[in-house]
Structure formats: structure tokens, C-alpha cells
Amino acid sequence: MTTHPNHSPENHSSLPFILFELAGTTYGLHSQVVQQMEMVQQITPVPNAANFVEGVVFSRGQVIPAINLRVRFGWEKVPYDVRTRLIVINVNHRTVGLITDSAREFISIPQDVILPPPEAISGLSGKYLAGIAMLGERLILILNAEEIINLTTDTSLIVHSS
């Protein structure tokens, strides 16, 4: 857990984010939607579910779906390792786990460095991109949690990628 040195927490126009890595890129989720982060335990596959749905896991007394974000964004699956994390998010009364390569940072990002997604990539992935933040040399893609777990957004992805 580190806070970016340039932006102290008392800057009240900052928003708190959870950062995670996926295929070498840093993504951010608003900390409000993140319920907890866990090591990836046993995942039970669900037959005939969408390809990016890895299965279901038991988390805090609840059985919740786990999405493989790599597959969701159209990349190769990689085996889980010690850094793999399940980020459990809670959006619109739904609880869903997101499998990410690693996740360990909590950061405050000033609102004025968050830019809307550029037109050029507002196509397919723009849907679940809420914004882009530049922190020094670092590029952070801020995700729209609602869209990631939206099934209709899924279908368009499947159609486009096949």
C-alpha cells in the first residue's frame, strides 16, 4: 500500500483508486466499488457460461462469479501464480470477482489528471474505459466496473473478436 508522493490525501479533489496489473498495463478501479482482494482459491468452472467467466468461487459466505479479465480484454490466459489476485467488486447489488495478474496499490488520484478516454479508442474497449490518468510517467487506465460485468457488453466483444 503506497500513496503517490506528489498527491497527499488532504487534497480533497482526489479520488481513491485500487490499482492492478494486467498484461503489463496498470488499471484503476474506484475504491468504492471494491469490496475486498483475495488470493485466488479453487474456482469451479460453470459449463456453457461466457468464455471470460472462469467460474464461481466461495467468498465471504457467498458464491460469486469470477471473470478472467485477461480473457475479457481479449488476451491469452496465463497460469495463476503467487501474485494473481481476485478483486471482488460490488456494483448495482451484484458481487463479482475479477481475476488480475496482481493488485496491491491503493492510490489517490487528483480529479484534474483524469482525462476522458480518447476518441480513437472509444470503440470497443472505450465502453469499459471510464478515463485515463497520467501520474508522472505512469499511465493508468480507469475502468468502468459496471460495464465490465455487463453481459450485453460481453456479446459485442465476442462478436467482434471472433
Neighbour-count burial of 87, counting CB atoms closer than 10 A to its CB (0-12 exposed, 13-18 middle, 19+ buried):
buried
User: Which residue, 43 or 107, is less far from other proteins as judged by CB?
Assistant: 43
Cell numbers that stand for 78 in this block: 496465463
Backbone angles phi, psi at 61, to 5 degrees: 75, 10
- Residues at the contact surface with other proteins, assessed by CB under 8 A: 41-42, 44-50, 53, 55-58, 62-65, 67, 94-96, 149, 151, 155, 158-159
Shortest Cβ 62–other proteins spacing (Å): 7
Cβ(36)–Cβ(148) below 8 Å: no
User: Which residue, 108 or 144, is less far from other proteins as judged by CB?
Assistant: 144
User: Which residue, 2 or 48, is less far from other proteins as judged by CB?
Assistant: 48
Shortest Cβ 28–other proteins spacing (Å): 22
Shortest Cβ 138–other proteins spacing (Å): 31
Shortest Cβ 57–other proteins spacing (Å): 6
Shortest Cβ 41–other proteins spacing (Å): 7
User: Which residue, 120 or 151, is less far from other proteins as judged by CB?
Assistant: 151
Backbone angles phi, psi at 122, to 5 degrees: -80, 5
CA distance 61 to 58: 7
User: Which residue, 96 or 141, is less far from other proteins as judged by CB?
Assistant: 96
Q: Find all residues with CB under 8 Å of 35, minimum gap 6, and list them.
A: 88, 89, 90, 95
